[in-house]
A = this chain, B = another copy of it.
């Protein structure tokens, strides 16, 4: 398991389709200024070279703000830019293989939508779990659904950080936080908003408010 101290509370996962003509690097920078604590670069359907160049640019930004950068799926890109970690889904490299190739010092997160997947990932040395989709989402049409009750059961059954993902926004964030999870992953709740800085700030605000109450 990685020895890096990570704040999983507000975890931005990228999706360039939501940005229209806006620049990904600038959008990530605004999100970080608004309070995002971790960034995952997710790119499908681009060439390896394009992914690499994008990842290099994003790393300059995240490094400047000392925010960890996680690469989705592509261990080659994670290695090539010396990213802080890799996030793998159930269709990506197996956890044990990813650890073998990335080493102990990198963060590895695993997507889990069942308790069995969560327990296996923890046992195999995952650093955190991405659990969802807790609400229906336009980003990943194929994501299995996980109820808030199941999310809470998973959170109580593992010792590694649990990050909820899938359709989380300012309206339902409170319900998700009530399950006791360590953080939330958001895509559209930040990147689809016209004012990215403000969107991240608002989520951060709601989070501070409800975390104080719990």
Contact = CB atoms under 8 A, between A and B. Distances in A.
Contacts of A90: 49
Interface in A74-108: 74-76, 79-80, 90-94, 97, 101
Contacts of A48: 73-74, 91-93
Interface size class of A (residues with CB under 8 A): 10 to 19
Nearest to A47: B91
A93 to B, nearest CB: 6
A188 B91 CA distance: 29
A75 B101 CA distance: 11
A60 interface: no
B93 A47 contact: no
Given A48-B73, A48-B74, A80 B92 contact: no
Interface in A102-122: none
A168 B5 CA distance: 55
A52 interface: yes
A73 to B, nearest CB: 6
A63 to B, nearest CB: 18
Nearest to A93: B48
Contact of A80 (B49, B91, B93): B93
Please indicate which of the listed interface residues A49, A73, A90, A94 has the most CB atoms of chain B within 10 Å of its own CB.
A49
A7 interface: no
A50 interface: yes
A16 to B, nearest CB: 18
A89 to B, nearest CB: 8
A80 B97 contact: yes
21 contacts: A47-B91, A47-B92, A48-B73, A48-B91, A48-B93, A49-B90, A49-B92, A49-B94, A50-B91, A52-B93, A52-B94, A52-B97, A74-B76, A75-B79, A75-B80, A76-B76, A76-B93, A76-B101, A79-B101, A80-B93, A80-B97
Interface of A: 47-50, 52, 73-76, 79-80, 90-94, 97, 101
